[in-house]
Each structure stands twice: as structure tokens, then as C-alpha cells.
Structure 1
Amino acid sequence: MLLALENAIVKLLQEELPSLFAGPGSAEATFSADTWDFDRLSADPIASESGPEDAVDELAFDPSAPAGPHSLTRPPCASPKRVYLRSANGDLLALRNAEVAWNPADPASFSVVPGAGRSLAGCHHLHVMYGVVATATRLKMLHKLTMQVAGADAGSTEVAFALALSVLVMNRDELARGAGFSWTAGGYQVDGSVKTLKFTSGSSPATALRTLSLEVELDLRLERLFEERTTTSIESMLSPHRSAASSP
């Protein structure tokens, strides 16, 4: 579940240190198998009863074809929806109700109809806040993984590793923000976010190899999504016989 973080680290090193990590003969950053423990306070999570939950989608947006259509990742319930343009510098620009046309035949589908004077330049994402009917719980996990930096020789490896450490430390918060993920399938949703990223130890197991051990605290929000009319709890779905037996 740290693939996004691993990819972000490799990309960052190639962008910030192209002479060391990009091109023929450059140093290479790779990762060992990821292991993790569940936080003991969340190792036995209990799902909530189904009810209204907040949902947020980040949807790709083409300013040259704003109408879309666009589609939410989850079935929305009958609650207010707020749609924003996300600018190139990350600012959220609220769209007026008249600029968003929801499809009456499909509550998750909508089109953007920019108002007069609305600038779309540099906006490549829509930020949508809405409500869903879901049952949810959380898990906290502590991941441990090792990054290896391998170079052509001892000298170049030492330089690449030291400067890579500088890049990672100075951009730690940015890496954590970019390592989040959200996946939906079959009515289930998982949202992951990195809460902490720590560098704990290192080693030189070979002449042209350096390692860096990392600890990552990951927060998972787990949801089972329902249509608005569904009010069955996850417990009754998983234990129908027990629910029937408890009925008068």
C-alpha cells in the first residue's frame, strides 16, 4: 500500500537530482518488501451503522472540454454537493450552482457549464464534496521498508545516497501528501493517507550499495457504500440468521 510513496520518492530523486538518478549509468533507488503492523488500538475495528458520511472526489478536468460529462466515484445521497475548480497552485475556486448541471437520470453524473467570465486556465482537476450513505471504520498501520541506493562505484554511491537523503528530508511533507490514495470497487471504498514519514537507520551492505530504513504511519478509512434507500447495517448483512433470530 506504499507503492504511491515509493513511486513518488523515485520520481522526486530523478527530478531533483537528474545528474545522479536519471540517464545511463546513474544511481538507482529501489525498495525492499514492505512489512507492517496494525496499531493495537485499531486492530479489531468495528464498522459503524450505515448513515450519512462525507465524501470527496478529485476528478480530472479538461479546461478545453469543461462539460465532461463527469462522474462521482460513489453514489451520492440527497445532500448538498459542492464543486470546485482546483487551480495550478492548489487553490479551490467554487463553482456556482448555475455552473453545475446534475443529470436527473444519474445522480452521480454532472456537467460543468462555466459562467460568463469564468477563467479555466490552469485548472485540471475538480474537487467535489458530497454525502454518501455508508458504513465505515478506520485502521492505523505502521509500515517498515528499506530503500536501497545502488551506484556504479563506492564514490558515486556515497554522493548519490547523501544527496538523496537531503532531498527526502527537505521534501518529507510533500512526499507524505502525495502518497495518499483512494480506490473504489464493488461498493467498497478505501482511502489511505500517510500521517508520518520517519527515517530510522541505514547501512552499507556492499561497496556500491547504501540502504535507508523508513517507518511510515498509514491511516486507512474503510467504507461499504450503499444506495440512499439502504439502511441495513454491515452487521446484519454479515449475520442475517442472528438478525432474524432476534426479531420478535
Structure 2
Amino acid sequence: MNRHANEMKDIVEVCLLAGKLMLKNGAETYRVEDTMTRISHAYGIHESHSYVTPTAILFSIEGAEAARLARISDRTIQLDKVTEINGISRRISRGELSVKEAYNLLKEVDASRKIYPLWFSTLAAGLTSGCFLIMYGGIWRDFIPALIAGGFGYYCLIIVQRYVHIKFFSEFTASLMIGLLASLIVLMDLGEQFDKIVIGSVMPLVPGLLMTNAVRDLMAGHLVSGLSKGSEAFLTAFAIGTGVVAVLSWLS
């Protein structure tokens, strides 16, 4: 009896860890629930129940004493980890991994830190900003100004987030710096189209994944998660817009 209880506990640990890692790294709510259910089924537990929100996971199985709760305190976007966990889940479904092996692999994914250097992220954000400027009808003369403004804004976002753990404030500060730098560039006659420079530069800050996940969760029937992610995306967009509007008000 004790052995069976320990096995059940280990399976719950694997399911919770997989769900927690997927949710905190940018996976959709319905995908998290589906992965946890598939893992439990693969290990012979066909009666499992999960309730997932952006900040917590509740998971229980028939025969266990109580439901388990996993708290999600911080969320980021690392879709490579989501892909790795999907791969582990498929191997579990094919019967290739024991419970202990799966748990160890998930812990390795959790411990991995694939973080790009700040200079690389800043450069990538700058190049993205320049490309968005051209895509939205800007001129090639403004490509470098958009690259500089977008890279500087993303750099400010990362630096502020290190010291102030308030997402709204960091995004507002980044968009404010982008607006100020873009206006300075235009005033110095180094750029021409202020609006296109700002539009291209703020694109790396836009919560595209949040909006996509919110819509997909709503379509899958996860109303709580969909609405909460939609609200978070709205607040991010509001922060970006407020920073730009503050600059425009000062200029006028």
C-alpha cells in the first residue's frame, strides 16, 4: 500500500513539474492541462483532474489524499523549454521513460539557463525595430534611428526590470525613453518620420504572445485564463501607449 501511494505521489510530482515549467515559460493554459493529463494517462492513471490559471495549478488524481497546488510567481517567454517538455511528454506517452527518469529530465530543463547576453538582446531588438519600420511604410533613412531607439528602449526595459519588479513601470519607462530619443533624433534632423520611428521601436515591447495565448485560451473554453491574460496584455499596451503619449504631450 505504501509503495502504491509513493508511486502515485511521484506521478503527481512529475505532472505538476511539467505543468509548472510549461506555464511559467509561455505555454497556453489548455496545452498545460492537456500535457498533464497525457502524462498521468501514460502512467496508468485515467482519472486525473487539473485546474490551471496563469498564477496557479491545482492537480489531483483518484486515490490520492488531497489535491496539490503549484504557485506560479514569475512568468517569462522561453518557448524552447516548452518544446523540450513537449518532447519529454511524448517520450512518456510512448513508454520510453520511467517516472524517475522523466522527473530528472524535467529538473534538468528547469535548471537550464539559456539566457542571451544583454548586448545581443539589445541588438536583436534594434534590428527588429528597423525591420518593423520598413514593414509599416517607413523610409530607409529612418532605419538606423529606429534601430537605435528600439535597442535603447529594450535595454531600458531590461535594466529597469532588474531593480523594479513592476511590469507596468518598466514598460512605461521603456516607451518613454523611446519617445524621447526618437523626438531628439528628429529634432537633430537625423531622422524624418517621428511616428514611424516610434511605431517600429515599440514593437519589441508589444505583448504579442500574451494576446495570442489569451485568444487561444478563450477559444478553448478557458475563460478565466483567457480574460486574465487579455487583461495583462491590455495593461502592457496601455503602459506603452502612456509613455509615448507623455512625450507627445511634452512636445506639443
TM-score strictly above 0.5:
no
Query: TM-score normalised to the size of structure 1?
Result: 0.22
Query: TM-score normalised to the size of structure 2?
Result: 0.22
Considering fraction of residues, name the structure with more helix: 2
Instruction: Tell me which of the two structures has the higher relative contact order, counting C-alpha pairs closer than 8 angstroms and 6 or more residues apart.
Output: 1
Considering fraction of residues, name the structure with more strand: 1
